Copies of this chain bind each other. A is one copy, B any other.
């Protein structure tokens, strides 16, 4: 995949991890990571939960990771003096992706394939995969919604490139770039950033989406997600905003008070398949959606924004790219918690109708 309008420069960090600079213009990236060499943590375990046939990653080495540091100790800020050597040696940057220092999932050291069938007798596997950190902007005080369209475009190109490159790894089955925002959902670093999780197994929700799409294709001969988007376009009432290439809607059966799906109107399997036109019109709708979210209560909204893509090597013609944003705020000062019904039974109860939620988002004055 050729990068569109963005240059990537790779550098090695002092402990051997890779840092990648994505720049919209030619920039020298020669700063050296001056921190002492540190040993990388070991690989965690994957354990099979036979009750529901799902893999659980156990990464007990992450318990001591940095927790809400003050601004002046932020490890995602540029390195501006020898006093504080951050994860990013350069004094400024646009978008940066580096290997996570305390990853839940790591590349394999040898042959570590998971067993084909697992049950209550299964021993653990290795927590194989890859976890990367993607920093949206060098400015600590900003959020995704403060980025310029050019910055979002560079960010999208970085997500696309990571998907392309990680897809080539034989041990990766699924790639999920996501952003967590807000202390209410446990964000430990305020600097605008996201994560990229590349799994060696299908995450349970993806597995379920794939099963639903297969069943639908089998019964009706059509691609489920395309029909869903058609319904949202026809129903109109849950559309939040749209442009020539993208549509943003609150899904018919939303699970969260504010849940928005943003999908390209011409469907693609993953980020790498987006056309130039689709890429160029993403920043506008992405920024509008985020500004509408913050506008509902006039305060920054805590959210999880995750890219759903087709898995790397299966279901490529069945699953479609979309960006899912979910927020747990249900009223000023009130959060939606996952309690007994949602957490123990998996049965979601929504407190607002998706139509009310979409109307509120549409009515925000930008």
The answer to whether B176 and A50 have CB atoms under 8 Å apart is no
Nearest residue, chain B, Cβ from A58: B350
Asked if A204 contacts B347 (CB within 8 A), the reply is yes
Contact mask for chain A residues 78-98; partner B; CB cutoff 8 A; 1 contact, 0 none: 000000000000000000000
The stretch among A26-34, A35-43, A142-150, A332-340 that forms the contact with chain B is A332-340
Collect the chain B residues with CB atoms within 8 Å of residue A71's CB.
none
Interchain CA distance A195-B345 in the complex, whole Å? 13
Q: Given A51-B224, A336-B186, do A104 and B349 touch, yes or no (CB 8 Å)? A: yes
Measured in the bound complex, the distance between the Cα atoms of B347 and A304 in whole Å is: 14
Contact flags (1/0) for A249-261 with B, using CB distance below 8 Å?
0011111000000
Contact B215 A53 (CB under 8 A): yes
- Contact assessment for B345 and A253 in the assembled complex, using a CB-CB cutoff below 8 Å: no
User: Which residues of chain A in 301-345 are interfacial with respect to chain B, using CB atoms and an 8 Å cutoff?
Assistant: 304, 306, 308, 324, 326, 330-331, 334-341, 343-345
Interface residues on A, range: 35 or more
Asked if A49 is at the interface of the complex by the 8 Å CB criterion, the answer is: yes
In the complex, the count of this chain's copies comes to 2
Please report which residues of chain A, range 204-227, place their CB below 8 angstroms from some CB of chain B when the two chains form the complex.
204-206, 208-209, 211-212, 215-216, 219-220, 224-225, 227
List CB contacts (< 8 Å) of A102-152 with chain B.
104, 117, 119-121
- Closest residue of chain B to A179, judged by CB? B340
Residues of chain A at the chain B interface (Cβ within 8 Å): 45, 47-60, 62-63, 67, 104, 117, 119-121, 174, 176, 178-180, 185-187, 195, 197, 199, 201, 203-206, 208-209, 211-212, 215-216, 219-220, 224-225, 227-228, 230-231, 251-255, 304, 306, 308, 324, 326, 330-331, 334-341, 343-354, 356
